[in-house]
Amino acid sequence: MMGALLGLGILAIFSAYRAVQLTRCEIRQGRRPLFRRNPLETLVGLLDSYRTALISSLLFFLYIKSLPLIGFVPATFIFVTVLLWLSRLLNRTWLVATIGTLMALVLIFRVTVSVWMPDVWLYSLLPDHLADFANRYL
């Protein structure tokens, strides 16, 4: 707890210093300080520069929430494919690499190390023998 407190304290100090520095710079340039502008315009301007990080964070949140619904392999495949598409790297090479990596992850963690996740809701709709197979390897 002390390490986190120390880290957050240092972050707060340097963030306050940077905010004061930016405010002084804007006053010298004849503009209104950041805190006196329209808050909505300021928020949109700040979020625009972090668009990729925000979209990736939202996709990761959806990925985590979809794991118990559709399973590890389909959720991971969709997540990685969408990230590849957003980064304009979606081609046959990266798609094959994604599939190969997913198969290797399943073999390593499910078969070799025996790390299991809870049963998936989607697989409960399948017949029993297919649901057991899907819960084991997908």
Per-residue pLDDT tens over the stretch 62-114: 999 998 888 888 999 999 999 999 889 999 999 999 999 999 998 888 888 88
Sign of CA dihedral 86, 90, 96, 97: negative
Q: What is the pLDDT of residue 92?
A: 94
Residue whose pair of structure tokens reads 């979606």 in the numeric block: 90
Higher per-residue pLDDT: 73 or 45: 73
Q: What is the pLDDT of residue 97?
A: 95
- Rounded distance between C-alpha atoms, residue 118 and residue 111, angstroms: 15
Q: What is the pLDDT of residue 27?
A: 63
Q: What is the pLDDT of residue 34?
A: 57
Q: What is the pLDDT of residue 13?
A: 92
- Rounded distance between C-alpha atoms, residue 16 and residue 20, angstroms: 6
Q: What is the 8-class DSSP label of residue 125? A: G
Average the pLDDT over each of 30-34, 43-47, 134-138 and give the range with the smallest value. Answer: 30-34
How do residues 14-44 score in pLDDT, each as one tens digit?
Answer: 888 887 787 777 666 666 655 566 767 766 7
Q: What is the pLDDT of residue 125?
A: 82
3-state secondary structure of 13: helix
Q: What is the 8-class DSSP label of residue 113? A: S
CA distances from 103 to 43, 60, 123 (A): 42, 20, 19
Quick one: average pLDDT of 54-61? Answer: 89
Quick one: average pLDDT of 49-56? Answer: 81
Q: What is the pLDDT of residue 124?
A: 80
Please check whether residue 34 is in contact with residue 44, taking contact to mean a CB–CB distance below 8 angstroms: no
Structure tokens at 70: 């559709």
Q: Burial, 75: exposed, middle or buried (Cβ in 10 Å; 0-12, 13-18, 19+)? A: buried
